[in-house]
């Protein structure tokens, strides 16, 4: 398929809507009484969501957690989906100051051949996993759409659910990858503060805030089954960024009711040549608060808990908030079967295997789910 270089801009009012509401979001105006009132409601409004993200809501985490557990059980039962990411390349054209793959960082770069991808996938599939997330870094030159399409076709041999976390595409490119077999697209806005966004993304196509913001809509128009949202907590005011990511998902759900919606909640992590990269004021209670607020606002949304977080935290949030967890994670290029061909994106905190994650879930009375989708 021919590489398109022109960024397609679609008509959408969602960005304007989200940004104007975030602009006027004043989380210091709320009281503990407001939080308690929200927790009595069956259905939450956008303002209620903002209340749950406010500093005073930190005093109510226990109540929020109980409500969250009930909601998670109601919508998902005790089922927890398992998956693993596979980085097939780590080339990137962007200079994001917080990421180990940034084009200025001197790391070992690599890209798997199709034969290597096949062997990696076969090894992953032998662990029992049926869902995979394919990642590339963001280089249209090194990891073009054809290459990603071929990787997805290979994944179809082994997996029933295929997600992609790559650079944002135009609608027809998403259609092509959906036809190759991709189901889900994750694009994280990182921060919704446009000024900070410019400071964090010093060069590369990612500097185009609007093209990134509208990626989920293009993916859904292109035929994808679901899309994931997230802000990288710690880059800017995490309360505003979490509020924005929640509203972004909410408006997409309103406009595309058929879409499966999911969140990731990444925090900053150290990476090669940048050991000081920390999530500033987003400690575990704040991270928990954000996750709880997402669950209570959009109870049907999938929420993934990343290996950026430690074992104890991950174990505590599965079932209560998170509905998807990764195991056997490698964040360098390859490394499951082949020797790792490129350096890691960030440091992980939970290196447990798929088997260990499965055991933990069972011990907690949860049901590990490898697939809920049979491809025909």
Longest pairwise C-alpha distance within the chain: 59
Minimum CB separation of residue 205 from ligand SF4 in Å reads 9
Tell me how far CA of residue 304 lies from CA of 41, 162, 228, 322, in angstroms. Answer: 25, 15, 10, 6
* In the complex, least distance from residue 301 CB atom to ligand SF4, rounded to whole angstroms: 23
Residue 231 or 361: the one with the smaller Cβ distance to ligand SF4 is: 231
Q: Is residue 335 within 8 Å of residue 125, measured between CB atoms?
A: no
Among residues 18, 17, 54, the alpha carbon closest in space to that of 244 is found at 18
> Which CB atom, from 311 or from 340, has the smaller least distance to ligand SF4?
340
Are residues 222 and 178 in contact, defined by beta-carbon separation less than 8 angstroms? yes
Nearer to ligand SF4 among residue 50 and residue 110 (C-beta): 110
Closer CB to ligand SF4, residue 94 or residue 326? 94
For residue 376 the two structure tokens come to 């025909």
Instruction: Please state the closest distance from residue 326 (CB atom) to ligand SF4, in A.
Output: 17
Q: HSE of 332 in the Cβ direction (CA atoms, 13 Å)?
A: 17
Q: Shortest approach of ligand SF4 to residue 138 CB, angstroms?
A: 4
Q: Minimal distance in Å, beta carbon 198 to ligand SF4? A: 14
Give the interface with ligand SF4 as residue ranges (CB under 6 A).
92, 94, 96, 99, 101-102, 137-138, 206
Q: Which residue lies nearer to ligand SF4 by CB, 116 or 138?
A: 138
- Residue with Cβ nearer ligand SF4 (15 or 107): 107
- The secondary element (H helix, E strand) that includes residue 14 is helix 14-23
Please, what sign has the CA dihedral across residues 54, 317, 351, 261?
negative
CA 133 distance to own-chain centroid = 10
233 in Cβ contact with 279 (< 8 Å):
yes
**7 contact partners, CB below 8 Å, separation of at least 6:** 170, 205, 208, 211
Q: Assess contact for 64 and 289: CB atoms under 8 A.
A: yes
Please, what is the minimum distance in Å from the beta carbon of residue 192 to ligand SF4? 16
Residue among 99 and 228 whose Cβ is closer to ligand SF4: 99
Min CB(280)–ligand SF4 separation in Å = 18
Whole-number minimum distance, CB 79 to ligand SF4, in Å?
A: 30
Distance separating alpha carbons of residues 260 and 362, to the nearest angstrom: 26
For ligand SF4, the closer of residues 82 and 169 by Cβ is 169
Closest CA to 58 of 333, 288, 366: 288
Question: Residue 164: phi, psi to the nearest 5?
Answer: -130, 140
Closest separation in Å from C-beta 186 to ligand SF4: 11
Of 259, 238, 235, nearest in space to 249 by CA: 259
Neighbours of 203 (CB within 10 A): 13
Query: Which lies closer to ligand SF4 via its Cβ, residue 99 or residue 366?
Result: 99
**DSSP-derived 3-state class of residue 350:** coil
The least distance separating ligand SF4 from the CB of residue 345, rounded to whole angstroms, comes to 6
By beta-carbon proximity to ligand SF4, the closer residue of 94 and 214 is 94
- DSSP SS3 for 161: strand
């Amino acid at each position: 398929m021919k590489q398109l270089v022109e960024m397609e801009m679609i008509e959408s009012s969602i960005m304007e809507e989200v940004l104007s509401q975030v602009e006027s979001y004043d989380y210091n105006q709320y009281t503990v009484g407001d939080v308690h009132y929200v927790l009595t409601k069956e259905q939450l409004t956008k303002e209620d969501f903002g209340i749950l993200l406010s500093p005073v809501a930190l005093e109510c985490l226990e109540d929020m957690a109980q409500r969250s557990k009930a909601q998670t059980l109601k919508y998902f039962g005790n089922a927890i989906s398992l998956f693993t990411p596979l980085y097939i390349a780590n080339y990137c054209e962007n200079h994001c100051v917080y990421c180990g793959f940034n084009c200025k960082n001197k790391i070992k770069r690599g890209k798997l051949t199709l034969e290597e991808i096949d062997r990696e996938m076969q090894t992953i599939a032998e662990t029992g996993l049926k869902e995979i997330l394919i990642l590339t870094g963001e280089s249209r030159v090194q990891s073009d759409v054809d290459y990603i399409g071929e990787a997805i076709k290979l994944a179809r041999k082994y997996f029933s659910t295929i997600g992609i976390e790559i650079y944002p595409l135009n609608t027809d490119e998403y259609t092509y990858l959906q036809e190759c077999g991709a189901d889900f697209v994750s694009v994280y806005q990182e921060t919704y503060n446009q000024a900070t966004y410019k400071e964090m993304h010093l060069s590369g196509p990612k500097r185009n805030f609007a093209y990134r913001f509208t990626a989920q809509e293009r993916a859904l128009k292109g035929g994808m089954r679901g899309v994931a949202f997230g802000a990288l907590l710690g880059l800017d005011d995490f309360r505003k960024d979490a509020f924005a990511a929640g509203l972004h998902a909410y408006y997409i759900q309103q406009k595309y009711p058929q879409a499966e919606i999911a969140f990731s909640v990444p925090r900053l992590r150290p990476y090669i040549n940048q050991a000081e990269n920390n999530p500033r004021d987003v400690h575990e209670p704040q991270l928990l608060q954000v996750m709880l607020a997402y669950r209570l606002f959009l109870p049907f949304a999938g929420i993934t808990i990343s290996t950026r977080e430690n074992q104890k935290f991950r174990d505590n949030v599965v079932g209560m908030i998170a509905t998807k967890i990764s195991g056997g994670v490698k964040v360098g290029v390859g490394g499951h079967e082949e020797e790792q061909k490129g350096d890691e994106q960030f440091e992980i905190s939970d290196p447990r295997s798929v088997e260990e994650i499965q055991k933990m879930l069972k011990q907690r009375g949860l049901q590990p789910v490898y697939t809920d989708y049979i491809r025909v």
